[in-house]
Amino acid sequence: MSKRHNWSIPYFVFMVLFVVLPLLLVAVYAFQDGNGRFTFANIVRFFSDSNALSTFALSIEVAIENTVLCILIGYPAAWLLANRKYNRSAVTIILFILPMWINALMRTLATAELFNILGVQLGKGTLLYGMVYDYLPFMIYPIYTILQKMDKSYAEAAEDLGATPSQVFWKVTVPLSMPGVRSGILMVFMPTVSTFAISEFLTNNKIKLFGTIIQENINSSMWNYGAALALIMLLIIGISTLFNKNDGEEAESSLI
Amino acid sequence: MKKFLAQTYLWILLILLYAPLIFIAIFSFTEARVLGNWTGFSTQLYENLFTGNVNGSASLISAVRNTFIIAIVAALISTVLGTLAAIGIHNLRGRKKSTMLFLNNIPMLNPDIITGVSLFLLFVFLRISQGYATVVLAHVTFCTPYVVLSVLPRITQLSPNTYEAALDLGATPMQALWKVIVPQLRPGMVSGFFLAFTMSLDDFAVTFFTRGTIGLDTLSTFIYTDARKGGLTPELRPLMTLIFLIILILLVIINVRQAKQQNSIKNK
C-alpha cells in the first residue's frame, strides 16, 4: 500500500488549476480596471449603484422567502412520507423527486405558460411559486432521509413518559430532524441567491435577481464589474457556509 | 379522517409538481407553434422530431446529441479521476487529507453561476478558445467531487488484507488493483458515474459561460436561447414527453427489481 497516496496528486493538480486558480482570478479581475491596473472602482461602483444594491437586497429577500416556504410546505410532506401510518410505499418519495430529472428551464417555461393561460400576471408572486416549485424536492428529500433513519424508540419513550402526540412532535421529532432541515436550507437558499434564468422566465424579465446582473455584465464583456459582483456573492456564500460548516458535507452525502 | 387529510395534502403537492409536465405532454399532440394553443390532435411534432426536417428540429437534435456526448465523456473522466483521487485520499493522513477533502467540497458548495464565471475568466486569462473541450473540462470540475464522495466510503469498508493476499499469491500491484480492488469499488464507481452523468445533463449555468461563441448548444442552452428569442421550438414538447416517459419507465423497473430482491432476501 506504499505509494498509493500519490494517486491523489493528479486530482490535486486538477483542482488547483480548475477550482482554486479560477476563484483567485475572480478576485483579481474584481480589483482591476479594463487595462489590468489595480483599482477599487468596481467594488465602489456596486455600493454606489442603487439599482444593483436593490437587486441584491431583493435576491436575498426572495431566497429567504423561498427557503421559509419550502420548509413550511416541505417539512409536513417529508414527515407524512416518512410516517408508516400515512404512507406505506417507497415509491411515493420517488414521485416527489422524479420531476427534478426533467430540464428545469423547460419546467419553468411551462409553469410560466400555465400562469399565462390562467390569466395570472407574472411578477413576484409567480416568481416565488416557481422557486418553491423548483426547489421543494431539495427540501423534502434530506428531511425525509433523516426522519426515516430516526430511531423510533425516542418517540415511543417520550410517549411512555406521558408526552402528548404534539409534545412528542415538537420536543423529540423536530429537534432530531434539524440536521435534515439545515441540509435542506443549504440546498435551497444558495442556489436561489444565484439563479438567473428562472427569474427571467417567471417574471417576463420584469424582476431581476443578482445572478441575472452578473450574467448580463459578463456577457456584455464587462468582466471586471461582473467579477466584482461574483466576488460579493462568493463572500455571502462563504459566510453562510461557515455558519453551518459540517452540514455541507451532510447535505451532499444525503444526496448520494 | 387524519389519514384522508394527509393523503389529500400529498396528492395536491404531487398534482402541482406534475402540472407543468402534464401540460407539456398534452400539448405535444397538437401542431400549434405556441404552447397552450390547441389546433386539433396531431402527431406531426413527433414526426418532425424523428425526421429532423423542420427548421428548428435539426438544431434541437444536435443539441440533444451534444448534451449526451458531453455528459458521457465528462462522467467517464470524472469517474476515473475521482476513483484514483479517492484511493489516494484514503491513503493520506492528517493535514493533507483534510486539505484534499476541503478542496473537494468547494465545487459542490459553489453555486453554478460562480463555477461558470470563474472558469470563464480562467479560459479568458489563459487565452484558451472555448468550445466542446472547455465545456467538458468545466463539467468534470463540478462532477468529480461527487464521484470521490461515492467511492470513498467503499474504500473505507475494504479489508486491506485482500490486497496483501493477492500480492502474496504472486499478483503484481497492477493485477491486484484490477482484479481485487476495482471489483470491490465498482458499486461506488457506478453510482458516482450516474451521479456525475445526471449533474452534467442537468447543467445550464456552467455550460452557458464556458461554451464560447462557436454556437455549441446543449439542451439547456438551446431552450434558454430559444425562449429569449420568443417562442419555444414546438418539437421540444414531444422530446420532453419522451424523456419523461423513459425516466418513469426506468424508475419503475429499478424499483420493481429492488422490491423483488428485498422479497427474495426476506424469503430466504
Question: pLDDT tens digits for chain B (268 residues)?
Answer: 778 888 899 899 999 999 989 988 888 888 877 777 788 788 778 887 777 666 667 788 888 899 999 999 999 999 999 999 998 898 888 888 888 998 998 888 888 899 999 999 999 999 888 888 999 999 999 999 999 999 988 888 887 788 888 888 988 888 888 888 888 888 889 989 988 998 898 899 999 999 988 888 899 999 888 888 877 788 888 888 998 888 888 888 877 777 777 777 666 5
Nearest to A106 among B10, B103, B236 (CB): B236
| Residues A129, A123: Cα–Cα separation, whole Å | 10
Please name the residue that has the C-alpha cell 499478483. B171
pLDDT at A3: 63
Q: At what angle do helices B132-157 and B94-109 cross, to 10 degrees?
A: 130
Beta bridge partners of B30: B41
Q: Which residue has the higher pLDDT, B150 or A5?
A: B150
Signed CA dihedral, A157, A180, A127, B15: sign only = negative
pTM of the model: 0.85
| Residues B2, A205: Cα–Cα separation, whole Å | 43
Provide the CA A64 distance to its chain's centre, in angstroms.
10
Chain A within 8 Å of B233 (Cβ-Cβ)? no
Mean pLDDT, range A76-88, rounded to an integer? 83
| Residues A254, B129: Cα–Cα separation, whole Å | 37
Q: Which residue has the higher pLDDT, A39 or A17?
A: A17
The reply to whether residue A80 touches residue B9, judged by beta carbons under 8 angstroms, is yes
| Residues A195, B88: Cα–Cα separation, whole Å | 35
Chain B within 8 Å of A94 (Cβ-Cβ)? yes
Is B41 in a helix, a strand, or coil? strand
Mean pLDDT, range A192-221, rounded to an integer? 85
Chain A within 8 Å of B187 (Cβ-Cβ)? no
Element spanning A227, H or E:
helix A223-243
pLDDT at residue A20 is higher than 90: yes
pLDDT at B177: 82
If you count residue pairs, one on A and one on B, with CB atoms under 8 Å apart, how many are there?
222
pLDDT at A251: 44
pLDDT at B266: 61
The reply to whether residue A92 touches residue B10, judged by beta carbons under 8 angstroms, is yes
The reply to whether residue B23 touches residue A110, judged by beta carbons under 8 angstroms, is yes
Is A88 in a helix, a strand, or coil? coil
Is B243 in a helix, a strand, or coil? helix
Q: Which residue has the higher pLDDT, B200 or A256?
A: B200
| Residues B125, A22: Cα–Cα separation, whole Å | 9
pLDDT at residue A249 is higher than 50: no
Chain B within 8 Å of A214 (Cβ-Cβ)? yes
- Quote the longest CA-to-CA distance of chain B: 74
| Residues B213, B210: Cα–Cα separation, whole Å | 9
- The phi, psi pair for B41, rounded to 5°, reads -70, 135
- The phi, psi pair for A148, rounded to 5°, reads -65, -40
The CB-based long-range contact list for B23-26 (8 Å cut-off, 24+ gap) reads B23/A110, B23/A113, B23/A114, B24/A106, B24/A110, B24/B237, B24/B240, B24/B241, B25/B237, B25/B240, B25/B241, B25/B244
Split at pLDDT 50, 70, 90, the class of A248 is very low
- A86-97: per-residue pLDDT in tens? 777 777 788 888
> Mean pLDDT across chain A, nearest whole number?
84
Q: Which residue has the higher pLDDT, A132 or B59?
A: A132
Signed CA dihedral, B258, A83, A70, A179: sign only = negative
pLDDT at B56: 65
Residue B225 CB burial class (10 angstroms; 0-12, 13-18, ≥19) = middle
pLDDT at B267: 64
B125 contact partners, CB below 8 Å, separation of at least 6:
A25
